[in-house]
Chain A
Amino acid sequence: MKIVYLAKDKIYVNENGRVVRKDFGFEKGVVTSALKYKYIFNITFKLPKNLDKDMLEIEAEKYIFTEGSLDYTKDYKINFFFKEYEDFYNVEAFIVDMEVLKREYEEYLKTYKFIDFITLKPFVFEAYYDISKLPKKRDVFIFFNEEDAFLSCFVDGEFIFVKSLNKLETLAKELNLSLKDTVSLLQEKGLDVQNYEEKVQFEIVESFFSQFFMKVNHLLSYASSYYKVDNIERMFFYSPFNIKGLFEKYKEFWNLSGVEFREYKVKTDYDSFDYTAVVYNSKHYKNEKENFSIFPRPIPFYKTHSGILIILILAVGLGGAVDAFFKYYTMLEQEEYIAKLRNQLSHRKKQIQTLKALINKYDKQIALLESKNRKLKSEIEDISKKIDYLHSIQMKKLSANELADLAFELKKYHLKLLSFKKEKSHIKVSIISDFDNSADVAKFMQGMYKRGYKNVNLAKIENFNGIYISEVSYDE
C-alpha cells in the first residue's frame, strides 16, 4: 500500500516503509495530510461518569452547540476524544469549520480529487516513539513554525491534550518585521545578546520566549491539576528553522525543573515533522474517529445503490442476452446441420435407389442366366444319359457270342438244338436229346449257368417216341 502525504509544496510517499519526498504532483495511493492546529477550535470539557457510553457522543455534541458558541449557520467537522477518569469523562472536542478546510485544501484538490485522511498536527508526535525507539514517558512536544505554535502532551505514548502557544506572528508584530525577517533574525541572532546591535530588539525576542515558556510552564501546571499528569519528563521542541541560542538558554532552566529539554529530531534527510507525519498517517489512515477529511474518495460506482441496481439490470440483461445468443447460435448451427443432413439424405436416397435398381437388374440377369444354365445342364445331362444308355447297349453281350456259347455247350453234351428264341434279354431254346443222355440237359444248364447266364430253367420236357425235347430258358 502506498501512502501519500501532502505537505507544503511537496509530497511524501511511503511505500513499504520507504519514505521518499517528491515535488508536488499526482501520485496514486492513499492520500493523507495533517491539518494545522491554528484552524482547530479545541474545547475541553467534562461529562458525568454516570452517562451511558453510547450517549457520550450525543451529550458531547449537545455541549459544544450550547456551550461552545458555534455559529449555527456554518458546517463543522467535529471529532471527539473521550478519556475516562475516576469521576468523569474528559472530552477533547476538535472542531474545524468546513469552509476553512475547503480553503486550506483548495489547491491540493485541484490535483487530488479527494483526500482519504486528514489528521491534526498535534497527534502526529505519537509516531515519534515508533521512529526513535525511545521509551514512552510523560512527554510534551512543542511545535513552532511560521504559522503554528502548540504544545502536545503524551503520557506513555497516549495523546492527552493540546494547547496553543504564542505564535511567531506575535513576535513579528512586536519586532515590526515580516515573518520571513523574523525567522531570519531568529536564525542569525536568536537569543544571544551579543548578536544584537539594538538591545530593544533582543529584549523583545527574549521577552517573547520568556512568555512562551512561561505559558508552557503554566500548561504543565494545568496538566497536573486537570489531567493529573505530574512530572513531565521530556520536552521536545520542533521548529523547521533553527533558533540560535534557544537550547543553550532554556536547557538549564528546564533541567532545574526536572524536565529534559531536547530538540525534536529524527534520522532523516527530510523535515523531521513531515517525516513523522508520514509515518503517523501510514499507521492511522484507517482511523475514522480522528479523520478530519471532508473530501472522501468517491464510492466506486458498483458500490452505490444506483450502481448496484444498474449492474443488476445489466447482469440480468447480459445473462439473458448471452444465453439467448448461445441458444440462437446453437439454433443456427442446428439449422445448418439439418440442411446438411437433408442434403446428405437426399443424396443417399438417390444412391440407394441407383444401387437397388442395379441390384434388381443384376438379379434379373442372374435369374435369366441361371435359367439358361439349368436348361443347358439339363440338356447335357439328357445327352449324357442317352449316351450312357447307348453305351450300355453297346456293352451288351453279342448275340453271336451267345450263339457260340450255346453251340459249345450243346456240342459238349451231344445235344441238338431245335429252336432258338431271344426276346430282349430273355432266351428260350428247345433241345433234342436221347433217353440215355437226358441227364446231359441238366449238365448243359449247369454249363450255361457257369458261363454267366442267369435264371437258367427247364420249362418242360416232352417225349416224342424216345426222343426228348427239353425247353430251357435263361437270361443274359
Chain B
Amino acid sequence: MMNKLAVLKKLENYLESLDQKNRLVLYASVIFAGIILYYNINLSFLQDEIDYNVNVIEKLKKEMKSPGVLRVKLKKKKKTLNKVKKENTFLSENVKYVKMLIATSSVLHINENSFLEILRKILLHASENGITASYIIEEEKGDYVSYVINIKGAFERKNFKNFYAFIRDLEAIKAIKSIDSLTFYKVENVGFEINCKFWSLK
C-alpha cells in the first residue's frame, strides 16, 4: 500500500514537473495509444469477425428455403393422386362392367353356340317358308367379329310372299345384323342372293 502511494506520489511529482503543454501531449499520447489498440484489436480483429459472421448469416438465411411451397405442392399431388386413383377405379369398374355386359349379351356378343342358334333359325325360317338355298358362311375378324352368310337360291314366282316372309323372319332374328346385298330377278323362276352379316363385338 505504502509502495503504491509512493509510486503515485512520484507520478504526481513527475506530472507536476511537466508544463501544461507536455501534460496535454502525454494525455493525448494515452488517447492515441488507446486508439491504436482499439483499431488493432477491436476493429481489425473483432469487427472483422463480426462482419464476416454477418455475411455468413445473410448467406445462410438466403439458402434457407422454406419447405412450405413443397408441402403445398405435395398436398396437391396427393390430392391429384387420390383423384386419379378414384378415376382409375371408376374407369376400371366401368370397363369391367361393360365387358361383362358385352360378354353376357346375346345381342352384342355372338359365340359359337349362339351363332349356331342363329344359323338354325335361318334354316328353320327358310324351311318354313319353302325357300331352297345354298349357304356359304364366312367369318370376318377386324374391329368386330362378323359372320357373313351368303344365301343363294330360287323360288317360284307365286311364292314371292314366302320369300318376303323369309326375309322378314331373317331380319327378326334377335341379333345385330345387316343385309348388305339382296338381289333377285325373275326369269322363269325368281333367283335370289342374299348377303346377311351378323355382327359381334369381340
Interface residues of A (CB under 8 A from B): 304-306, 308-309, 312-313, 316-317, 319-320, 323-324, 327-328, 330-331, 334-335, 337-338, 341-342, 344-345, 348, 351-352, 355-356, 358-359, 362-363, 365-366, 369-370, 372-373, 376-377, 379-380, 383, 386-387, 390, 393-394, 396, 398-400, 403-404, 407, 417-424, 430
Contact = CB atoms under 8 A, between A and B. Distances in A.
29 contacts: A305-B15, A305-B16, A309-B11, A312-B30, A312-B31, A316-B31, A319-B38, A324-B41, A324-B42, A324-B46, A327-B50, A330-B50, A334-B50, A338-B56, A348-B65, A352-B70, A362-B78, A362-B80, A363-B77, A380-B91, A383-B98, A383-B102, A387-B108, A387-B201, A393-B177, A393-B199, A399-B182, A420-B182, A420-B183
Given A324-B41, A352-B70, A403-B164, 12 more contacts: A306-B11, A316-B31, A323-B42, A330-B50, A331-B46, A334-B54, A358-B77, A366-B77, A372-B88, A373-B87, A420-B182, A420-B183
Interface string B30-62: 110110011001100011011001101100110
Counting chain B CB atoms within 10 Å of each CB, the highest count among A316, A317, A342, A358 belongs to A316
B49 A331 contact: yes
Interface of B: 8, 11-12, 15-16, 18, 23, 26-27, 30-31, 33-34, 37-38, 41-42, 46-47, 49-50, 53-54, 56-57, 60-61, 63-67, 70-71, 73-74, 77-78, 80-81, 84-85, 87-88, 91-92, 94-95, 98-99, 102, 108, 143-144, 164, 167-168, 171, 176-186, 199, 201
Contacts of A337: 57
Q: Looking at chain B's contact residues, is the secondary structure mostly helix, strand, loop, or mixed?
A: helix
Contacts of B67: 348, 351-352, 355
Contact of A418 (B34, B95, B143, B185): B185
A376 B95 contact: yes
Counting chain B CB atoms within 10 Å of each CB, the highest count among A308, A407, A422 belongs to A422
Contacts of B38: 319-320, 323
Given A320-B42, A355-B70, A418-B185, A306 B164 contact: no
